[in-house]
Structure formats: structure tokens, C-alpha cells
Structure 1
Amino acid sequence: MTNAEQTTELPKSWEPADHESDLYQRWVDAGYFTADPSSDKPGYSVVLPPPNVTGSLHMGHALDHTLMDTLTRRKRMQGYEVLWLPGMDHAGIATQTIVEKQLAAEGLTKTDLGREAFIERVWQWKAESGGTIAGQMRRIGDGVDWSRDRFTMDEGLSRAVQTIFKRLYDAGLIYRAERLVNWSPVLQTAISDIEVKFEEVEGELVSLRYGSLADDEPHVVVATTRVETMLGDTAVAVHPDDERYRDLIGTTLEHPFTGRRIPVIADEYVDPEFGTGAVKITPAHDPNDFEMGVRHDLPMPTIMDATGAIAGTGTQFDGMDRFEARVKVREALAAQGRVVAEKRPYLHSVGHSERSGESIEPRLSMQWWVKVDQLAKAAGDAVRNGDTVIHPASQEPRWFDWVDGMHDWTISRQLWWGHRIPIWYGPDGQVECFGPDDTVPDGWEQDPDVLDTWFSSGLWPFSTMGWPDATDDLDRFYPTSVLVTGYDILFFWVARMMMFGTFVGELDHGGLAGRDAAVPFRDVFLHGLVRDEHGSKMSKSKGNGIDPLDWVDRYGADALRFTLARGANPGSDISVGESHAQSSRNFATKLFNATKFAMMNGARCEELPARDALTDADRWILDRLDEVLVAVDEGFDAYEFSKACEALYHFAWDEVCDWYLELAKVQISDGGDRAAHTRAVLGAVLDPLLRALSPVMPFVTETLWTALTGGESVVIAPWPTGGGDVATRDAGAATRITDLQKLITEVRRFRSDQGLNPGQRVAATIDGLAAAGLEAHRPYLDALARLAGADADFAATATVEVRLSSGTATVAIDTSGTVDVEAERKRAAKDLAAAEKELATTTGKLGNEQFLAKAPEAVVAKIRARRDLAEAEVDRLRGKLDSLSAR
């Protein structure tokens, strides 16, 4: 590729906000992100984990999207036909809650509207307000195929939901039963485990007495944090080997309020060492009690209605809210003399609804369930057999623990917004599941519940491509290549997709005929959580959350993306803060300035001359480029984004910008063939470097690469590869450049320590250049270390010795008359005082045991690094003062 007729001029400086929107729209308009299933290129596909239509991008989303975009952009450049399919989840509970709040502001309820009108109102809200994330995705540069944008309530996806429900139902894998669920009294629906957040709360622990009030007569003391649930107690349980209660096992005790007799049962689940060794059993309101109730065939009375009010107990507490009843039941028990002890406050963990905030009530409820044994085994076997590979492998044991021990999944929700369960009831008690192509008889009524949102999102990899019909997209892009998601939802979303994917694949249903593996994705890449710079989890309550769009506004999308990708490795959490974003913005600016400088000095993308016509610096930087490109490929192929980004960052900043560009200035100033060769090398380095950076930093690299090369777009440019013939790499040139860097660095350090003006040249002689093969490199030394040749009157005032690969080079320097010794002494003394204060502060913190016990490890490490830096600075400045005092 040549740029003999460059038409693109670079702006004066890089201001992301001036360019990003136009660049993104140009990519979309050009169709770069639109997948062609008829292409003869190898296929590569990723489906976007569908964000809630109610939401907006947070840092976790930004990380997800950055990594997916990086993978797909790179694969596109590598010659793959790439599909990155976007979409939104209808978010049943969250969306219905928003619309209900809007109605409440108007003095209405959903019941006032009726089901059909309410659903129309939700669709109206979705059309007007439900696209925030799509705009934000464009802001950060997501290269998704917008022509295939999907929504989980779209007609095609609804057809897929009905189809798989019927097939699971017909296979006996969906059933209806009364079991314990997470119940939200505010939302009045069952909710999934992932929508329950556990929080430490201050409650009370009440110890109450069943049986006789006389100590010498049969009785049992049990403790509970929810005393109101004793209204639903149907047993007291003890361990079968507990001698204290052996005589009570099989007897009954009278319930204090209901009058019914409840048995004392023996069960090995009870821990005889905990508390009194006896526990109350409320099967309809506690998961462990429910399992015990099943084992012992206990009655399971539900004592609360859908709102969390006491109901059906036949006691004076009926009609009370559960929290009011908690107080009244305790007072009534105390009045009977049955409260043995009370502990307040009592800190314990309580599940709360993520959406509505109230504490969850475990409640026995008639729901629809998926029988998971067969499905979970297939999902586990897919990983065991290697059909799907989890990255990092260290997450595999967690995967197997989950799928091998999975409980049946409750899929019904008592909502109006969502996929209605396709079960119909006939006038004569008939129950039938109808698929999307079936005709429902007149007079039949549909089940009022809707499906859990995770049910429809579990079909996402293939429903979005047209399943159950046979489509070109399914044939070309399914199974998908990789799923990118956080390890925190491994068990919820990933497991459900694997269960459904293996089910439809193994049974050859619909459009998946001929698949070579019954899995929805080949790789599962699990990244960590995004934490703040101190390693703490971001949350609204802590006030440490970061809006990714705020960073885009202030630093540019490239800075946001590079910050996140640079910290991302399989399974590892990422700590980010303002300083990281600033660093990434500075990196983008550095790239811009370096490329602009190179172009101003005639950098060109053209065929390189023979290697023997190049300088050591030229061969060194080209060889380093080759090595770095190999490391970058290794990093991306292993989903080690941090490794790839670190390699590119340090090569670009430390080697290209800090060294080669400076050496290139000397070579260009020589003129002639050397200058022309240098311009070609600059192009040969910057072209692939910008291409390699473009998947992570697409905007600045697009601007620079098109200007440098004259190419159409870096989005469709070929991916740069390294790994050339290792034997052609010039080890001698690398050694000489390393020696040259050491010399220049040490002379610069000496100059700084002596307070020399950076631009001031000083006379010097150098011994040892010949032994290191650096005689021809003296012009670089003079230019970069600001040295001058020695005249007849030269008299060295100081020497700098530098150990090189072949002996020692000695630089003799005449600094007489170049330094204001007294001014420099005062400056050094001031700097020393500041360094000593920093050393004292950091040393004091590291010596504080309380600080070390409470501070996150990342904070301690940062203080330790500051202490080490201050210590080195104190030593340096004291040495400098000693040197100045000797003059």
C-alpha cells in the first residue's frame, strides 16, 4: 500500500469529540459492520448480551462491549465474515415497574387500564424511551450489525419462545407445581435468584418455648429472626442422636395460637451444636424447612397473602402486615411467658428485591417449573467434552458445581409484561400447550402468568438468528464463536443458554439441523468486575460508580476503551480510576502527535529498502515490531487483552515515540538515502502499529491510519502479523541500540542531577565506543544527550561510567561555567525536604497496623510504591548535594 497521493490532512490536535460521531456514522453507512451470510470468508459470530431496555450503560457494560468490539474488529481485519448481533431484553419486572410508576403519577393502576391496554402503554414507553443504550453503544464505537438488531419481545423471538416451551412441555421437562419461591410482596410476583440481593441488617433473635412452661415438664426452646412465621410452624426438629430430646421425638406439642398439635421430628439436617439443637419448621416460608417438610410429609400452610400480610391462620394476627405481626406475635408470646430470650440488635443476612428494595419472602406458590436434571447434565457434558471451552479454565469447577447441583427452575412470573405462558385451559378442565402455529379452540383461556426474562434470553444465541426456522444466518453463524460476559452471571444466563442450546441442538430441532456440536458457543470468556481504583466494588450507595459516558465526554471513547481493555484478563477484576483514563487519553494524544510528526517529516508507506541499507536503529525497531505483533496475537488469541494492550502501549510509547522518533530525527537530518530510508521505516512501523491498536482504539487510529496510508478505512484494513524469519532479526543491532540507550539515559540523568539546562550542549569525550561497536553512533549521542566535541582546551570536570554489553564506556564532561552552583544547591535542598517529608508520611502509614488491617491491598501497594520512590529520591538528592558541595 502506498500513500503517494495522500488526501487526508490531520487536524492541529486530537480532540475526540470533534471526530468520533462522524467517524462512527461513516463506518455504519459504509456497511462495514453488516454481515453477509453468503460470503465465502470463514464465519465469526458474537451475540451481545442483551442489556435491559430500561437501562443505560454502566462500567460493566462498557467493559463487555469494549472486549467484544475488540474481538470482532480484529477478526474482521483477519479476513473473517463477522457478525456481532445487538439487541435488548424486555426486562419484565423493571419495565413494568417503570410504567406502573408513570400510571401512579396519573392516579391510575394497571388494573384500571386492563391487561391489553396496559401492554399497549408499555410498548408506547418502549418506543419513546427504551433506546438509551443504543445511542450510548454508538458513542463508545460498538461495531454491531444494526440491521440485525433484536428485541426479546419481537415477533420472531416470541415465536422461538413458544416453540421451545412446547417442546420442553411435550418432553415432560416443564411442569406445574406448588413449591417455595422468592416472593416480592411489593411486585406480587416470584422473582429469580439473580434479582435477590443479600444485605446485612439489624434484626432480632427471639428464643421461644414450645410445650410446657414448667422447666420439669416436656418443652423445647427454638430461636428465630422471623418470629411471625411461627404461625405456620408444623413441626419442631432435632437431631436423631441428640440425647437431650430422644424422649420427645415422636411426641407432639401444642401450638400457642392455633391450638394444633405439631410433632417433634428427627432429622440429620439439624445441627445439635448450634443454639439449643432444636429448630422450628415452617415449610411454606423457608427453603430448608420446605425440604424437611417434603421428607417428613408435613403440612405446609401458607400464612401470608401476596402482599405479605398474615392471612388464613385463624388468629388475631390475620390482616396484619408481616412486620407489624412480627412485633405483635412476639408481644403475645411474651405475655404467655414463652419468650425465653431476645437479642437486639442481631446482625444477619436478608435477601432483598433488587427492583423494589423490600425484603424477599420465601413463599409456597403454584408456579411453572423447568425440570433441569437432563438439561443441566448436557450443559455440563458440553464443557467436559470440550465442545465449549471456558476461559479461564479456573472457572470450570464453579461451572460444574453449579450445573451438577442445579435445582428445578421456576419460570413463571405474576406480571403482565412479558411472554405469556402458552398454556391454555379448556371449559371442561382441559390443559393444553399450544405452539405458535397451533389453533386455540374457542372458549379456552390462557394462563395469566408470563415467563421469566431469563427464559427468553436463554434462547438468545439462536432465536436472534431466526430459529426455529432454517435461516442463512443460522447456517453461517451458529454456533457462535465466543460468549463474552462477567463471571458473576455464569450460573444464571450462561447456564440457561447452554441448557437450551444443547437441548435444541441434540434433538435436531428447527433450523439447527446438521450442526457439528450441540452448543450455542465455542468459547466462553469470563472477565471480572470493574472496581474503583482502590479495589472496591462500584455501587450507588458507596458513591464510587463511574459513568463511562462521562469519560467519553472528557477523554474520548478510545481512552475509555483502552483503559478497560488494558486491565482485562480472564477471570480477573479490574481496578480503574480517573488517573487511568487520563493516562489513556495521553496515550491517544501521544500517538497522534507522533504520527503527525512523522508525516510532517515525510513518513511514507512504501516498499522498504534491503535490510543491509538500513541503520541499526531501523533494523532494531522493525525487529521489535515483529516481536510485538507476535505477542499481541498471543494475547488476543488467549483473551489476555491486558497482555496485548501492554505490549502495544510500551512499544508505541517507550520504543517508537521515546527512542526511534528521536533517532529518526538524526537520520532525516543527514539527508540523502538515509533520510529516505528512515521515512519508509517510519511508515512501515506506524502503519501496522495503528492497525494493531485499532480494535481497541478505533477512532484515533482511523484518523491517523487513513491520513498516513491513504487507505479507505482501518476497519477493513488487513490485520498485521509478526513472526517473520527469526534468523533475519539483527541481534547485533538490538545490542548496540540497547547500549546506545543506556549511554544516553545515564548522561541525561547526570545532566539532570547537575542541574544543566536540558537544551544546553556540553563538551565531552567518550572512551569505549569502539569496543561496543558504537563509533558510528556518536551523532545520536551528541543529538540526544546534548553533547559537543572537545576542543584543545577541554578539561573534564566530571565523568560518567556506563557498563555496556562489551566493556565500559566513560563519558568525560566539562561542566565548568554551565551551572549556577548556589542556585542549584538551594533547589536540591528544597526538593530533598519534600522527598524526606513524603518518605516520613508513607513510612508512617506502612508502620500503622490499623491502617494495614483495614486498607485494601491495592491501596497498601500504592503507598508502598510511593515509599520506595521517595527513598530512592532522597538518596539521589543527598548525593547531588554532596556533589555540589564539593565544587
Structure 2
Amino acid sequence: MEMEPTYNPSLFEDKWYRFWIEKGFFHANEKKVLNGERKKFSVVLPPPNVTGVLHVGHALNSTLQDVICRWKRMKGYEVCWIPGTDHAGIATQWVVERELAKEGLTRHDVGREEFLKRVWEWKEQYGNRIINQLKKLGTSCDWERERFTMDEGFSKAVRRAFVTLYKEGLIYRGKRLINWCPRCHTALSDLEVEHEEETGKLWYIRYPLVDGEGYIVVATTRPETLLGDVAVAVNPNDERYKHLVGKKVRLPIVGREIPVIADEYVDPEFGTGAVKITPAHDFNDFEVGNRHGLEPIQIMDDWGRITVPPFKGMDRFEAREAVVALLKDEGLLEKEEVHVHSVGHCYRCKTVVEPYLSDQWFVKTKPLAERAIEAVKSGEIKFIPKQWENTFFDWMYNIRDWCISRQIWWGHRIPAWYCLECGHVNVSEETPKRCENCGSESLKQDEDVLDTWFSSSLWPFGVFGWPEDTDDLKAFYPTDLLVTGFDIIFFWVARMMMMGYHFTGKKPFSDVYVHALVRDEKGQKMSKTRGNVIDPLEMVEKYGADTLRFTLTALAAQGRDIRLSERIIEGYRHFANKVWNVARFVLSTTEGISEIGEVSYSPEDRWILTKLSETIKRVDEELSAYRFNEAAKAIYQFIWNELADWYVEFTKYRLYRGSDEEKRTAAHTLLTVLRDSLKLLHPIMPFITEEIYQKLPNRDAESISISNWPSSECCSFPETAVLVETVKEIIRGIRNVKAELNISPSTEVEVFLKTDNSDLLDVIEKMIPSIKQMARVSKIKKVDEQPSGTISFFLPGIEVYVNVGELIDVGSEIERLSQKLKKIEKEAEKLRRKLSNKNFLERAPKEVVEKNRVELSELEEILKKLESTIEQLKNMA
């Protein structure tokens, strides 16, 4: 079947994706797992936000999952890869509120019911954009099982989880400090707070001692919060302040008397070593206040406005200026300094977040964390790379109760109803008709919704139908692999562990592969502000999905951030071209050659089959260990180097001039190796491999995506393969001699061999046509000693002599190569000096030092060869 002359992915990528979907190749059959017919492999896609559009992080995450899923599918597993989207409470509400604002309306103007109707309409129209974009990448998800975190079944799971935890005493309502966005008017999780370095000020304020013996100076970045101060704290080991502990100071402006306390939390090096304690507006102060039994004083409302005189009604930042002005007037502001510090902002609207004391719903996480910690410690759940366990443990050992309520309308509404008669809280999966305490029908549901992370913590088992005991749950849970980013190890991964063990008694997954961050080629984080964002959809349009996928896989080294640029992606497009061109050659040259009849493998056939076997084994090992880049590298090297650069060239003589048996054997081997190479490449580059596979005369399945993964057990001839490697070195050595002596590559030369290795001679004899063609050799002859006029090079077990005497001016060549030797020696000496310089070794980046070492090693190898050649030329003169 004829192939297009050039690789053009736009002609076939969409076609093959439709084919796979129509044929149902990605749909898992739970019955085959339950009846023992097949082993299962299950994965859940980290659900992207419905507001999302595909960015390069999504592309990396889904590509790596797809590589594993396609590989497992070809290895005979029943693969269930569940896709879906997250309702993304705050983000989605923000988008719809922005649309309302265009009409001059707020959500409060239209009311909750109408607002939610509009959100659902928006979701239906735009919510699947990212799913469709993921399909463009070739993700082989089980789309028939696609879920949404607010679909009917998942909503049931969320209610069951909440009610169960509440009845077990693990969910409670209380007044605690939370991250609060005065603009979005809701609590935020730590992940929804973006910290940015800002240049602000550090104000030094005098707090007069009540006994009249002077004052203590406190440094603060937020002078407006002094209105809620309940103490001044110093470190108990700070000699400067030991005599003041237990005394009282008068709070500036307010006049309230507050104590001086000692607490280890205080850093003696910060500011003056004395800090103000405002428990209602600072997380650390809240903990200090609890330890010392201090009652918090709230001085702001939920819009960020001051609620106490003399600044009542002022915005917090307006009040800051007024407080500073008044302190100056009263002579209580000692000084102010420029100060760079980290300030939290709402990830959606960028408003500065306020620590705020509020009535919220919380999960007691310490009891839930114990089983998850034990699972990682015992190896029941593994992090890859292992170093991410430390991040997990840091969070889990210092875990705080989890605020799960959000003051927005879009999301899972908290299933709690307040009795307006007796005040009892009724928590139920179904809407209660009467108060369970007093029987009153006057019930009002809590206005809040649940944190998005609460519902997504149920994802690994909720997608399979929990709390119902479904066949899917029995067949595919626990899942086998989770691929995710490091930034949500605690917010999502740890919480899935806690909920998975608590509600199912089983781990939610076995392996957690934590992929790195994709940065630009300079190592900077990608951002629209910097203008260095790479749009994966643009790259797919320009270079094809396969090229982008291979690039990301090839760069995905464990524990290292990916440095990506369009230049690198374009480079891997050349690999796709190489695959295409090799396939065109094989299909065009083998067409019409019958495979009927016996085949008799030549040494080069045995060599390529051995190399194929070794590559299959290596790819299996690398993918089993999630070393994606190493798997990609092994496939790349085999196809480009062994298959394209060597074996294709080895076969040309037989294909064009050989006997029928030689042609048949070459064609059979080429087609076999091409087919199995395509299978190795398919998990990474699914489209191009399907397009070529469908044109093969020896395809063994309806689609390469459901074909059997090649076996590394058959067709391996290691002894012959070693001898053919020597033949390759002979060809390469002859080419190098010509290049060194400025002899045209097309000029034919005589070659003489000296060896006692009969097996090697036998292989050389059989490969003489290929050697002659590939090294442009006129005659090959065995000799007992070096003939005159020849340049020699040595390989294990054989000496090779190339006759150059009549092709060069020996004197001129000695002069030319001597000049070249001097030049390279200078370069090498420069590198030697640099690498012996202690300052350079200590200060230069490791990769620069290593690069210099490699360069020196290469130069020294060239010097050895030049010296040898010059010495031989002198003997010829």
C-alpha cells in the first residue's frame, strides 16, 4: 500500500482517533476481569477543571499515562483508564459571574437557583473543551466511563462520605482561622492561595509599658491588625526581654492592656525580636493564642472592612494608612523600612487573602492520616521518584484539620439542615422533612458548598460507582497507577489515600508517579507574563501530536524538571520523518517479494533480530520502572541507528541484486523488524504507528493498539550479533581513515585483514557485498602482515589495513595532520587548565564542568588517532 512521499500528520491523526473510538478499543470489559480471563490495569485521569484549557502540564501528564496504558493494553491487560472533569467550584463560579457582570448583574441579583442554572448551561457549552483537546493528543481513555464530579452518581458518593464522617465524629463545625478571599467571599484552600514576593514596609511601633518604665518596640508588616492584638510575644531565650515577660503594655491607639508573653515561635532575628499577637488575623498567632489561652478579637468583616473604632467602615488597606498616620501623630512610630515579603493572593481574582476567623466545617484529619502514612512507610503505596515521600510525610506528620466549607453556590451543597425551632443540626444524605430532634418542619439547609478537593478525594473509587458495590468497583479498584504533579501531593494525593482507606479499606492506588514541572529552555517557569508559554495545541497543529508526545516522553527524566522549547519539538519531528521514510523504503522495496518459502538468515539479519530483542527487553524494563525517557531513548536509538542507519543499508545489496531466497529473507526480516519496531513505538507515537501498521502486509491485528506486544524471548543470536558489531566497526574505521586523509567517501580502496578468528572471518565473508557497498571498498583480502602503503586500525581480534599509498601525497598529509594536531592540542590544554582550576570546579555549574570533561575526553581520543596516523604516514614516507 502506497505511502505519502512526506510525513504529514494532519492527514491521518483525526482519522485514526475516530477509528479507535468507533471500534471501542479503549473500553474495558469488567466481566473479563471478574471471570479471570484477563488481568486488569486501572488508572484514573486527574480530573482537569471544566474551566480549563490544555496546557503543556496537562499534555505531559496525559501523555505519560497514555504511554503506560497503551503498553499494558498491548501486553494483554484489560485496561480501564477513567477520564473526567472537576466542577472546580471557585474557578467556575468566577467565570460565570464574569459573564453576568457583562449584563450589569451579580449572582445575588439573579438568585441561587437562576445562577446555578446558568452555571450548568455554561458547563454544557464549554465544560468539555479540555476533554476534546486531550483527545487531540491521542489519549486512550475509556470515554464511555467518563465522569464529572457533580454527576448524579458522584453526588451520591459525596453525600455518603460527608454523612458517614459526620456520624463518626470526624466532621464538625467550628470557629477557626481560614484563608478568606474578601472579593470571592469564600474560604480558600492553601492550594488556592498564590504567594507572591512583594515590596512592602516593616513598621516599628512602640508599645508603652503600663508601669511607665519605657516601651517595647514591635515590628510588623500589617499595622492595621494591631486593633486586634491580645499580646506581645518574645522568645523565652532572648536575654533582651526576659525581664519584661509577665508585664503588661498599653496597646497603641486602642489603649487596651495586653501581656508580654514568651513563646518559642518568635524568631529573635526578625525585626526587634518582639512581635504582636493577633490570633483572629494570623495563622501562627492563632496557634500562639491557643497555647496561651488568649481570646481572639476579630477586627474585620468578611469584606475586609474594619469593624472597630476609630476606623470602623474603612477598607483594611485604607485603615493601614490611617493607623500609621495616627501612630506618627502620637509619637509611637519609631521607624519604617522597605521590606520584601511573601503575600498570599486568591488564585482566581488575585485579591490579597485575609486570615479570617469564621464558622466553617472541618474534617479531623489526624485519625485519617495514620493509615495513609503507614501505607507509604511499608511500601504498600510507592512514590516515584522516592524523594517525594519526604514531601508527603512533611505534610502528614504536621497535618491540621481540613476546612471543607466554601461560601459559594456552585458545588456540592453541604447536606446539613438547621432546625429553626430548636437549633439542632440535621445531617442526612436525603433532604429531611422534619427535625430529628424536635420534629419541626422548619428546616433551612446550610448555604455553603464543599471544598472541591473533598469531592475529588473520592475520585479513585467514586468513579467506579461507590457507595454501590458495582462490578466496576470489584473489577478495577484499587487502581494501579496515579500520575500527578508534585504541587498536589498533599491537597489531592494524600486525601485520596485517607478517604480510600477509610471508606473501602483498600489503598486507592499502588504507584504514584510524580512528574516534573515543564519549564522553558532556560529553566524558567512558563507564564503569560514572561511570554514563554508553549501551547501544546499549537505544537500539535504544527508538528503533529506524535512529535509532541515523543518530545515530552524523551525529556521526562525522573526527578528533573523538563526544559522545553519549540526548537526541541521541531528536532523530534525529524525522528518522525525518519520513521516515515524507513517505512516507505521497506514497503516499496519488499512489495511483490513473496514471503512463501523458507528463509535463511544472514549474519546481519541475526544481528538486527538480536538488537530488536534487546530493545524490547530494555523498553519493558524502563516502562516497568516509569523511566519514560530511557524507554524513548532505547526506541529512538534502535530505529534511527540500528534499523535506519545500518540494517536498511545492509539489506540493499540482497534486495536489489540477491537471489530469490536472499530477497525473501531480507524482505521478511525487514517487515518483521519494522512491525515490531512500530509496536515498541506505538505507546509513545500512536498515530504514525497506526498509519504505517495498516499498510503492512504482515500486520497481525485489526489495529496496532490491540496487537500483541512483541516478545524479547525469540530470535536472539548474541554470538553472531557481537561479530556483526565488529563488521560495523570495520566499515566505520575505513570511512574514518578516508575522512582523516581527505579521501573522497566515494573513492574505492583496498582493504586487508589480519585475524585468527575463523568465526569472524566467516561473518565478514558473508557480508563482503555490504562492506564493499557501504565503505566503498574494491577488494578485501586476508593477510599475515601489514602491506606497505596502508594505514592500520585495530579492533578486538582483528587488524585492518587500508591501502592509501597511491591516493595521497604522504608529505603533505603529514604536514596537514601535524598542524591539526597542534591546534587540537591547544584546545585540549586549555580545557586541562580549566579542569585543574579549583575555583572553576567549585563555582561552575555541575553540568558545565561535566560538559568540559566530556569535551576533553573527546579531544584526547582524536589526538590519539591523529598521532597514530601521523606515525604510520612517517613510516610510509
CA deviation string 1:501-558 (max 9, x = no partner): 111013xxxxxxxxxxx11112222222222223333233332221111221111111
Match of 1:307 in 2: 303
Find the partner of 1:638 among 617, 625, 641: 625
Q: Sort the Cα spacing of 1:60 and 1:736 in 2 relative to 1 into closer, same or farther, 3 A.
A: same
Instruction: Describe how 1:646-665 pairs up with structure 2 within 5 A.
Output: 646-665=633-652
**SS of equivalent residue, structure 1 residue 420:** coil
Matched-pair contact (CA < 8 Å) for 2:210–2:248: no
| Matches of 1:607 and 1:240, distance apart in 2 | 91
Find the partner of 2:249 among 225, 250, 253: 253
- Do structure 1's residue 46 and structure 2's residue 32 form an aligned pair? no
Q: Sort the Cα spacing of 1:532 and 1:54 in 2 relative to 1 into closer, same or farther, 3 A.
A: same
Find the partner of 2:686 among 660, 682, 698: 698
- Counterpart amino acid of 2:259? P
Match of 2:532 in 1: 544
- Do structure 1's residue 788 and structure 2's residue 785 form an aligned pair? no
Q: Sort the Cα spacing of 1:433 and 1:809 in 2 relative to 1 into closer, same or farther, 3 A.
A: farther
| Matches of 1:72 and 1:723, distance apart in 2 | 23
- Counterpart amino acid of 1:664? T
CA deviation string 1:475-506 (max 9, x = no partner): 11111111111222111110111111111013
Match of 2:703 in 1: 713
Instruction: Describe how 1:193-212 pairs up with structure 2 within 5 A.
Output: 193-212=190-209
| Matches of 1:580 and 1:874, distance apart in 2 | 32
- Do structure 1's residue 221 and structure 2's residue 217 form an aligned pair? yes
Task: Report the alpha carbon displacement of residue 387 of structure 1 after superposing the two structures with TM.
Answer: 3.1
Matched-pair contact (CA < 8 Å) for 1:218–1:248: no
- Do structure 1's residue 338 and structure 2's residue 337 form an aligned pair? no
Instruction: Describe how 1:849-868 pairs up with structure 2 within 5 A.
Output: none
**SS of equivalent residue, structure 1 residue 521:** coil
Instruction: Describe how 1:561-576 pairs up with structure 2 within 5 A.
Output: 561-576=549-564
Matched-pair contact (CA < 8 Å) for 1:59–1:548: yes
Match of 2:437 in 1: none
- Do structure 1's residue 560 and structure 2's residue 548 form an aligned pair? yes
Matched-pair contact (CA < 8 Å) for 1:761–1:788: no
Find the partner of 1:99 among 93, 96, 112: 96
Find the partner of 1:21 among 3, 14, 18: 14
| Matches of 1:563 and 1:622, distance apart in 2 | 27
| Matches of 2:840 and 2:323, distance apart in 1 | 45
| Matches of 2:405 and 2:19, distance apart in 1 | 44
| Matches of 2:320 and 2:367, distance apart in 1 | 42
CA deviation string 1:813-860 (max 9, x = no partner): 3663999x99xx99999x999999999999999999999999976678
Q: Sort the Cα spacing of 1:367 and 1:864 in 2 relative to 1 into closer, same or farther, 3 A.
A: farther
- Counterpart amino acid of 2:4? P
- Do structure 1's residue 722 and structure 2's residue 720 form an aligned pair? no
Match of 1:532 in 2: 520
- Counterpart amino acid of 2:58? H
CA deviation string 1:377-412 (max 9, x = no partner): 121122234432222333223322322221100011
- Do structure 1's residue 811 and structure 2's residue 806 form an aligned pair? no
Match of 2:753 in 1: 767
Match of 1:415 in 2: 408
Match of 1:324 in 2: 318
Instruction: Describe how 1:652-691 pairs up with structure 2 within 5 A.
Output: 652-668=639-655, 669-691=657-679
- Counterpart amino acid of 1:649? Y
Residue identity over aligned pairs, in percent, reads 45
Matched-pair contact (CA < 8 Å) for 2:787–2:801: no
Task: Report the alpha carbon displacement of residue 325 of structure 1 after superposing the two structures with TM.
Answer: 1.9
| Matches of 1:370 and 1:307, distance apart in 2 | 26
Task: Report the alpha carbon displacement of residue 274 of structure 1 after superposing the two structures with TM.
Answer: 4.3
Q: Sort the Cα spacing of 1:386 and 1:861 in 2 relative to 1 into closer, same or farther, 3 A.
A: closer
Q: Sort the Cα spacing of 1:424 and 1:862 in 2 relative to 1 into closer, same or farther, 3 A.
A: farther
| Matches of 2:808 and 2:646, distance apart in 1 | 30
Find the partner of 2:52 among 55, 58, 68: 55
Find the partner of 2:147 among 129, 141, 150: 150
Instruction: Describe how 1:317-716 pairs up with structure 2 within 5 A.
Output: 317-344=311-338, 346-441=339-434, 442-506=441-505, 518-602=506-590, 613-668=600-655, 669-708=657-696, 709-710=698-699, 711-716=701-706
Find the partner of 2:230 among 234, 246, 266: 234
Matched-pair contact (CA < 8 Å) for 2:253–2:327: no
CA deviation string 1:860-887 (max 9, x = no partner): 8678878987998999999999999999
| Matches of 1:185 and 1:871, distance apart in 2 | 67
**SS of equivalent residue, structure 2 residue 510:** strand
| Matches of 1:366 and 1:581, distance apart in 2 | 51
CA deviation string 1:593-613 (max 9, x = no partner): 112211222178969957xx3
| Matches of 1:595 and 1:37, distance apart in 2 | 37
Matched-pair contact (CA < 8 Å) for 2:679–2:689: yes
Find the partner of 2:767 among 763, 768, 777: 777
Task: Report the alpha carbon displacement of residue 676 of structure 1 after superposing the two structures with TM.
Answer: 1.3
**Normalised by the size of structure 2, how large is the TM-score?**
0.90
Q: Sort the Cα spacing of 1:343 and 1:175 in 2 relative to 1 into closer, same or farther, 3 A.
A: same
| Matches of 2:809 and 2:693, distance apart in 1 | 44
| Mean Cα deviation higher: 579-588 or 453-462 | 579-588
Match of 1:291 in 2: 287
Matched-pair contact (CA < 8 Å) for 2:210–2:249: no
Match of 1:11 in 2: 4
Matched-pair contact (CA < 8 Å) for 2:207–2:251: yes
- Counterpart amino acid of 1:749? N
Q: Sort the Cα spacing of 1:605 and 1:222 in 2 relative to 1 into closer, same or farther, 3 A.
A: farther
Task: Report the alpha carbon displacement of residue 732 of structure 1 after superposing the two structures with TM.
Answer: 3.5
- Do structure 1's residue 32 and structure 2's residue 25 form an aligned pair? yes
Matched-pair contact (CA < 8 Å) for 1:558–1:699: yes
**Normalised by the size of structure 1, how large is the TM-score?**
0.89
Task: Report the alpha carbon displacement of residue 571 of structure 1 after superposing the two structures with TM.
Answer: 3.7
| Matches of 1:837 and 1:327, distance apart in 2 | 67
Match of 2:183 in 1: 186
CA deviation string 1:566-623 (max 9, x = no partner): 222444322222232123211111111112211222178969957xx32211111111
Matched-pair contact (CA < 8 Å) for 1:528–1:572: yes
| Matches of 1:605 and 1:580, distance apart in 2 | 41
Matched-pair contact (CA < 8 Å) for 2:244–2:260: yes
**SS of equivalent residue, structure 1 residue 707:** coil
Q: Sort the Cα spacing of 1:502 and 1:118 in 2 relative to 1 into closer, same or farther, 3 A.
A: same
- Counterpart amino acid of 1:348? H
Find the partner of 1:733 among 720, 726, 729: 720
| Matches of 1:642 and 1:355, distance apart in 2 | 35
Q: Sort the Cα spacing of 1:157 and 1:578 in 2 relative to 1 into closer, same or farther, 3 A.
A: same
Task: Report the alpha carbon displacement of residue 41 of structure 1 after superposing the two structures with TM.
Answer: 1.7
| Matches of 2:788 and 2:315, distance apart in 1 | 90
Match of 2:106 in 1: 109
Matched-pair contact (CA < 8 Å) for 2:208–2:250: yes
| Matches of 2:867 and 2:119, distance apart in 1 | 72
Matched-pair contact (CA < 8 Å) for 2:210–2:250: no
Task: Report the alpha carbon displacement of residue 456 of structure 1 after superposing the two structures with TM.
Answer: 0.7
Match of 1:511 in 2: none
| Matches of 2:772 and 2:140, distance apart in 1 | 48
Match of 2:438 in 1: none
| Matches of 1:25 and 1:379, distance apart in 2 | 41
